[in-house]
Amino acid sequence: MMPSDAPPPLPEDLFAAARQARTNAYAPYSRFKVGAAVRTADGRLFAGANMENAAYPQGQCAEANALGAMVSAVGGQRIIEVAVVGGREDDPQDLCTPCGGCRQRLREFGTETLLIHICGPDGRRHTTTLGVLLPLSFGPDNLDIV
Ligand code: THU
């Protein structure tokens, strides 16, 4: 039997989509490539990579682009799982956790149970939830949008 504190499985399709997107990251300034993939409640996958800009604040995170791909293709959907692939190549412990802005972006489409798999290019480094990363969050339900 699995111990009760074993992390939930990291689905290969979600990880592969995020890792593939990362190969297309446009990060000439930071050289920090990130890929992200989200899974909708009805089972569809959407991925994105980070996209930097010479005017630095205009850069966009991988998670934001994955959500943009979802909305562009199928509209706003409930998401249940996210994989983020990033972190220093030479440090298998390094975590690329979603930035503060992306935690809020994920909150728009997910609840506190949203699973977040934080991965390096070789696989999972940590799994957590949006409720842990963004406690006491403000979301669509605060504005009576269900
Ligand atoms: N970045 C992401 O794409 N996602 C994260 O979760 C954290 C940071 C990007 C933004 C920028 O292009 C680079 O990583 C360095 O901050």
Q: What is the mean pLDDT of residues 127-138?
A: 98
Q: Tokens 């728009």 — which residue?
A: 108
Task: Report the residue among 22, 29, 31, 32 best suited for mutation to probe ligand 1: largest number of ligand atoms under 8 A from its CB.
Answer: 32
Task: Report the residue among 61, 89, 97, 104 best suited for mutation to probe ligand 1: largest number of ligand atoms under 8 A from its CB.
Answer: 61
pLDDT(104) > 90:
yes
> Does the Cβ of 23 fall within 6 Å of ligand 1?
no
Confidence of residue 1 (pLDDT cuts 50, 70, 90): low
Confidence of residue 61 (pLDDT cuts 50, 70, 90): very high
Q: Would you state the pLDDT for residue 45?
A: 98
Distances in Å between the alpha carbon of 15 and those of 24, 30, 86, 91, 117? 15, 23, 11, 19, 8
**Token code pair at residue 34:** 């990130």
Annotated catalytic residue within 12, 52, 63, 108 = 63
> Which range among 1-5, 45-49, 51-55, 84-88 shows the weakest confidence by mean pLDDT?
1-5
Told to judge if 63 belongs to the known catalytic residues of this protein, a careful annotator would answer yes
Q: What pTM, to 2 d.p., does this model score?
A: 0.95
In this structure, which topology does domain 12-143 adopt according to CATH? Cytidine Deaminase; domain 2 (3.40.140)
C-alpha–C-alpha distance, residues 131 and 125, integer Å: 18
- Tell me the domain boundaries of the chain: 12-143
Distances in Å between the alpha carbon of 17 and those of 25, 49, 123, 134? 13, 10, 12, 24
Q: What is the mean pLDDT of residues 37-56?
A: 98
Strand-pair partners of 83: 37, 117
The identity of residue 51, as a single letter, is: M
> For ligand 1, atom 14, which residue shows the shortest CA distance?
32
Q: Would you state the pLDDT for residue 146?
A: 62
Share of the chain above pLDDT 90, in %: 91
